[in-house]
Structure 1
Amino acid sequence: MRKLINVTLLPLLILTIISCGEDDQVSSREFPKLNTLEVSNITANGATFNAEFSFRGDFEITSYGFVWSRFTKDFTLDNSDKVIIHQNINTPNFSLDVSSALEEDKTYYVRSFVTTDEFIVYGQAKEFVSLGSNAPQIDNVSPLSIFYGDTVSIFGANFSFAKDNNQVKFGGVSAEVTSATDTLLHVLLPELIQSENSTLSVSVAGNVSESAETLNFIGPEITSLSKTEVVYGDTVEIFGNHFGYHEGLNSVKIAE
């Protein structure tokens, strides 16, 4: 399991590495060290994040990039927006352009990172004020025919890795995002859809895009009944497809 290292350059650096094994020990092994540099090229379309190695060593780096957040503490690869390159790097510095998930006139904190087979190493955080970023891009939605309980996949670009930063609506009804990357969202169909045909929209950092495709909501289908002749007090079983996945979504009426 990788070990997590937060590195801040101070006159005196005291580093404790906690092992995930049974016998926790302080490690004296070297590791890459990073400086996060000032953010540059801040525009309404995004910004450029910059970093340099203060010590590179001969480590095989498996990925590198940046994480950013509105919060000053405890933002990591697991819980933040990020831009990540999955390859080794041997240059003394690196920069990456970010064009999504930045809200206009908001203060953010960004820090660089690299990963090896053993470590995740972060540089110190740098503060900057965003001027905005590009809107999310919806390329494809699957499936287009949907019913209660479905999970819909939204393919595109400029989404947020932090799933709660993506707001998805079906015909104006908010839906739950169950997982997210910058190019793919998985969304649980909301319970309150009223229209047979719905548009879909995605909002990230105040920017909204709408799907060019219309989603078709499939209503319930009755295939058979357990009995057709009934008296008051009878229980009838209804068999079919596309019913609501919990009791409150279904209502049954018997015509005279």
Structure 2
Amino acid sequence: MNAILICFNGCSSEVEFPLKKDYLVLETLPYEALDKRGVTLNAKLVGEHTGNISEVGFIWGDVETSFKYPTILEKNAFSLRLESDLSNGKDYGYQAYVKIDSLLLLGNRLIFSSLGTIDPTIGDFYPKSGFVGDTVTIHGNYFSLNRERIEVTLNDYVCQIVSADVKHISVIVPYNIVYHSGQLPLKVQSGNTQIMAKESFLIEGFQITEVNPDHGIVGETLIDISGITIETMPNSIEVYFGNHKAEEVTRIGNTIRARLPYQMSSGSYQVSVKLDSTQVISNSTIEVLSRWQKINDFPSDGRVLGNLIPVGNVAYYLFGSTSLNSDIYFNEIWRYSFDSDEWALQGNFPGQARGGAITFNINGIIYYGLGVTGANGFFNDFWKYNPAVNQWTRLKNFTGPPKVKSQFLSMSGNGYVIGSSYYDGGIKEIWRYDPALDQWDMLGEIGIANGINNQDATFTYKGEIYVVDISNPKSRPVKVFKFSPGTPSIFEEIATLPFGPPAIQTMPIVFVLNNKLYLENTSRFQTKTGWQTETQMFTLNLESIEWARIENFPEALSAYQNSFSYNNYGYVGFISPTGADVTKKIWRYDATIQ
């Protein structure tokens, strides 16, 4: 028996096969209206069906991606106009689909070569302002028909899309920008094109409305930040001036008050408030002033362990070494002019340069001596230098025990040497030098158990000598004492330092301007995670005995430096941050800057 198989094309038209079909056929038809605006895709249903058609549309795309766009069925036919997402000269495949009951029926696949589409545009959006959770509708043209290819952002925060077609996109203002300030840029990413609205969207949540004052001093000025909904904010508020975090922040009603940080440089800074992960930035800036001013660098080799002392309207730097670890010392004398901010080489010392020496100025004459070198041991020689004629004169030797890194100062026509870092060198002794008699006298001992050395601080005020015992960790909390040269054994405690926990200190910065002591100390202390450092600078009003914290010295941890005051300015220079390296920087502190 012979069998004959007759094949019919299920995608053919009824005209060719006028047989009545009792099944459904989906036919993808050739495209139409292909131009630079887009293309129209067509399809039709042929045959009988009793199922429920829930969705019709087209699946289209290139070799890398595909998209599924639904459309509307009318009289067993449907079409889709693509006017977005197409690239010029690119081939795209497409095929119709129908969802009927639980089945997905696919038509045949065809191809078109695109001439591209017009880039999407934003015409406008409404409303122009609102709060989180509000709906914003964007009006425009040629938006992608595929929601997955649309992204709307407010200041880079992604919005939830409610609905979208080629001319409209509706989104919800995201909740995670509840505390963001004011005007936010609105962007739409449609396919491969990003467009920005001409206007910004105004968030009616927290906004910074005012920053007052608009200028201030590092570490001193309190800045008031006013705004909307501040009173409803969480307690965890952080305030930043640029990248510098304020250490003191309080909230009073609709105002946040923050102190300018203690470690900043002069310049303009944008003010921002951080709430959780959101940072609200003010549109205005604040001009920050520092009382520290960098003046001309030292022009020769960097050095440390020398002596820097003012005489009249100039200062002299004597000798020094290339590092704290070196035993090679310069014997040069350099002169600095306060008026011209210039350095000049003055001459050389005829004796042996050394470290740990003492020096003081009495009536325009510089006195220098004592100290130590590794090669020569301790020195007891003493000299005077007349800078007016550049002349050195040898004086009588010091008659006491060796003195290394002692505290030294001058007052009322006499010089004083207090303590020593050499244990057998009279660590508690107070010696006075009388230049008229070229004579040394031991006045007594200070009432501090472990004595003092150059890591402590001494200064004079109204005919009395003040001592700050910073280096002795056993004497915590650190005290400020004073005594009169006539009664050196009577120590009067006048204040307790506001520095932090017990620590190993570096050499402090100390100078006096008017009635205030300026004191900075860098503490190094051990924690569970390792060694930590903390630097703080304070003033002590010597009349009211009140401490006030001010801005830090601009340089980092310092193992050694020279500091003094002249003509209502404080000076710090010849800094050794670690002891092994030195800098040439010189800084001036101007308390009159407002």
Normalised TM-score (structure 1): 0.57
Give yes or no for contact 1:135–1:209 (8 Å, CA) kept in 2.
no
Query: Hey, what does 2:29 align to over in structure 1?
Result: 37
Q: Which runs of 5+ in 2 are unaligned?
A: 1-6, 11-21, 208-227, 236-247, 255-272, 281-549, 551-594
Query: Hey, what does 1:131 align to over in structure 2?
Result: 115
Secondary structure in 1 matching 2:115? coil
Following the alignment from structure 1 to structure 2, what is the Cα–Cα distance between the partners of residues 100 and 162? Answer: 10
For residue 96 of structure 2, the aligned residue among 112, 129, 133 is: 112
Count how many residue pairs are aligned between Structure 1 and Structure 2: 208
**1:239/1:69 CA distance change after superposition, 3 Å:** farther
Query: Hey, what does 1:22 align to over in structure 2?
Result: none
Following the alignment from structure 1 to structure 2, what is the Cα–Cα distance between the partners of residues 56 and 152? Answer: 44
Q: Determine if the alignment matches structure 1 residue 154 to structure 2 residue 141.
A: no
Secondary structure in 2 matching 1:211? strand
Looking at both structures, which has the greater relative contact order when contacts are Cα pairs under 8 Å and sequence separation is at least 6? 1
Give yes or no for contact 1:33–1:55 (8 Å, CA) kept in 2.
yes
Residues 27-66 of structure 1 deviation map (CA, whole Å, 9 limit, x = unaligned): xxx8633122333332221101022335454555444332
For residue 221 of structure 1, the aligned residue among 215, 223, 229 is: 229
Query: Hey, what does 2:447 align to over in structure 1?
Result: none
Query: Hey, what does 1:165 align to over in structure 2?
Result: 149
Give yes or no for contact 1:32–1:59 (8 Å, CA) kept in 2.
no
**1:186/1:108 CA distance change after superposition, 3 Å:** farther
* Structural mapping, 1:178-193, within 5 Å: 178-179=160-161, 181-182=164-165, 183-186=168-171, 189=174
Residues 132-182 of structure 1 deviation map (CA, whole Å, 9 limit, x = unaligned): 2234354653553256x6565334354334334224354xx5442533532
For residue 71 of structure 2, the aligned residue among 84, 107, 127 is: 84
Secondary structure in 1 matching 2:116? coil
Query: Hey, what does 2:337 align to over in structure 1?
Result: none
Query: Hey, what does 1:247 align to over in structure 2?
Result: 276
For residue 98 of structure 1, the aligned residue among 74, 78, 82 is: 82
Query: Hey, what does 1:66 align to over in structure 2?
Result: 58
Which contiguous aligned blocks of 4+ residues in structure 1 show a shift greater than 6 angstroms? 10-13, 224-227, 234-240
**1:224/1:214 CA distance change after superposition, 3 Å:** closer
Following the alignment from structure 1 to structure 2, what is the Cα–Cα distance between the partners of residues 225 and 36? Answer: 59
Query: Percent identity among equivalent residues?
Result: 20
Following the alignment from structure 1 to structure 2, what is the Cα–Cα distance between the partners of residues 112 and 128? Answer: 14
Matched letter for residue 221 of structure 1:
T
Secondary structure in 2 matching 1:65? strand
Report the CA distance between 1:130 and its aligned residue.
2.3
Matched letter for residue 82 of structure 1:
Y
Q: Which runs of 5+ in 1 are unaligned?
A: 1-9, 14-29, 228-233
Residues 45-91 of structure 1 deviation map (CA, whole Å, 9 limit, x = unaligned): 11010223354545554443323233568x5xxxx351411x5x434
**1:238/1:135 CA distance change after superposition, 3 Å:** farther
Give yes or no for contact 2:95–2:108 (8 Å, CA) kept in 1.
yes
Normalised TM-score (structure 2): 0.28
Structure of larger gyration radius: 2
Report the CA distance between 1:124 and its aligned residue.
3.4
Secondary structure in 2 matching 1:223? helix
Matched letter for residue 160 of structure 1:
S
Report the CA distance between 1:105 and its aligned residue.
3.5
Secondary structure in 2 matching 1:39? strand
**1:150/1:103 CA distance change after superposition, 3 Å:** farther
Following the alignment from structure 1 to structure 2, what is the Cα–Cα distance between the partners of residues 226 and 71? Answer: 51
RMSD of aligned Cα (Å)? 4.7
Give yes or no for contact 2:36–2:115 (8 Å, CA) kept in 1.
yes
Query: Hey, what does 2:183 align to over in structure 1?
Result: 197
Query: Hey, what does 1:176 align to over in structure 2?
Result: 158
